[in-house]
Structure 1
Amino acid sequence: MTDLDILHFEQLKKDVQAQYLKEYTPSYDDISKWKGIDIIYFQEDLRKKAKGNISEKSFYTYFKNSPVTKLPRIDMLNLLSIYAGYDSWYEFKKQHLFAGELLKDDEDLDDDDLKEIEKIVFTAPNLPQNDITLKKQEEKTADNEVLQKSNTENQSIIHNKDINTKTNSEEQKPKKSFIKKNAWALITSVLVVLTGLLGFKDVIFSKTYKYCFTDADRGLGVVNTLEIKVIKENESPILYKIKPGECFYYSTKDKNLKMQISSPFYEYLEINRSLENAPDEEIIELKPDDYKMAAYYFSIKDANGDPEELKRKRNQLESLISNNAVIYQIYDNNIYGIERLDKQKYITLVTTPTTSLKNLSVIEMKKDNNGKIISIKFKIATDEKNK
């Protein structure tokens, strides 16, 4: 490892960061500040584009510190180079040469490199082993030639052997040069295959589970979007949003599953499942929150302009909503995004006959210990037919 290799790796980290920022918006642009869910999304993108993975520990070791004091293994360097758009680590360095820096295709490999090549190729299926040990055999042959020449009594006898050995050595030189030039390419190919298999191991060994949700009181599908947080040990929670009537599909190779389920109209529910003998499909009942459900029902109920019906609707909302409730309306545009309403403005809005009320949807609703609604966040979706 040279100081130039460290500088090249710092360049590569910036290229990896730039590649990720083309499609994603993490908490910080600087890759050294990423943590939690940002790292998880980066690992997913790395698996998708480079067919490989790096552990969270490796990310903290090599990306949180700058500059690093040591280089990662060659397989990780190749993986990150492929993610950044290059064929290999060598190709990346080749395209980012510093002033006066030279990269030699035929530079001699040291003993550690040869041992690493030999180890990788020996463990890879259907690859020749003899070529890897060729250099050591040639060195041994050369040593024998020196010993033979030092024995003056045997020189005349083995003269023809020396000629044959020299001829064989000259024939093997192209092979030796070929191995030197293509050793890292061979290693890269093997490692790409191995990292590809590692990248897909989660898919190969994982199992998919299906969870559907029903209203416990009505026996029907839920009427509001569900938020599901999957909790994994030592990892940030992963949030999923499930639309009404849809089921939740989750693939994992873990033995346990912990989910936190929440919705504006249903009581919070935490699910813990041992997956060793769990069924592939399961129906989960959610208990509706009657106060929240009633507030939503009276908000969208059509009074048809009947004064008596409108009066009953207002009275119901008056009793369900706290006088100090915090209410926000969310808009579907970039100019005017949110507006705060008090209790009376909200009641006036939902008791004024208009066709747009059928598009009212509650994003969030909270109540106090006495059952009074203290917070509402809602939106009225744009409907082109009503314009």
Structure 2
Amino acid sequence: MDRRSFIKKAGTAGAGAVAASALAAPAIAQENPKISWRMTSSFPKSLDTIFGGAEDIAKHVSNATGGNFTIQPFAAGEIVPALQAADAVTSGTVEAAHTTSYYFVGKDPTYAIGTAIPFSLNSRLTNAWYYQGNGNTLMNEFFATQGIYGLPAGNTGAQMGGWFRKEINTLDDLKGVKMRIAGLAGQVMSKLGVIPQQIGGADIYPALEKGTIDAAEFVGPYDDLKLGFHKVAKYYYYPGFWEGGPTVHGLFNLEKWSSLPKHYQAALTDACAFANTNMLAKYDMKNPSALKQLVAEGATLRPFSQEILEAAFQVSTGLYADISSSNPSFKKIYDDQTAFKRDAYLWMQLSEYTFDTFMMIQQRSGKL
């Protein structure tokens, strides 16, 4: 091959490479489009545990997509109030929300199962039902009717039963108590004589302080200490039987979710799974020391009586039967969760419960 022929062929090859790179650049851009979403939270920024779940999602999505897919979290009230997060997603005001779906039980009681209903599942079983059972599939069948796609994106673990101005020893003591309580738990407590109030987290303290309400449940020691509830209500009850393992959801506008590239959907799914695990780990780490501090500052711990627990369980079972009789979506999901729960707690009696009980006895006897 002579020199002139070589140069000509090399030039042709070079031009082809340039052309190929020119074609590749737009293709890459199409595969990794610049997308910016807004995510409204139902929680204040001061609660680094639960608001932090939205921040975890945003950080992980950005890192996984090289900064091409960004989500900006906003605290409750910055775009819409805490209890309007789902409506904002459905309407397209925002693309996403980080919230508890039971806040929207007034729209449909099926929303409540998405977070927790009284006497449902603990955190570990909740995750099992969502990830390995039918939970996520069934909830998204319902969410789709609301123009939403949902992913578990946080869990607080079993919550406390709330703060009361007076001691609650019997069922009669509950009558007339104005209590901040969310989801179907409000309807259960109403049947026991409580007057339920649904109030966003940031508004609970002033309501307790002013006497607008007599009691309030929120999450547990770490968050409750930050919000200062022990300063305006002395008695701290347990357990929060209405929230054995409540899920915090990432809710996404269904049309916006469906239009995402598949690898962006995967990145968002993984980000929510991390937020789900990380939130529970935060609470398990931070609640013990916070509980000690609350008691040191005057909080008085009290268990709900067996009488109250048994009455609440009976009322809850009746309520679910009533709702199921007229709401097919609720019945389908509730029946599936109940079937899972029946076998899951049979197993946990042998494993977790036996082991945990033994270790708690060692802790109480000072051997740990």
Between structure 1 and structure 2, the one with the greater Rg is: 1
Question: Of Structure 1 and Structure 2, which has the larger fraction of its residues in helix?
Answer: 2
- Normalising by the smaller structure, the TM-score range is under 0.3
> What's the TM-score, normalizing by structure 1?
0.23
> What's the TM-score, normalizing by structure 2?
0.24
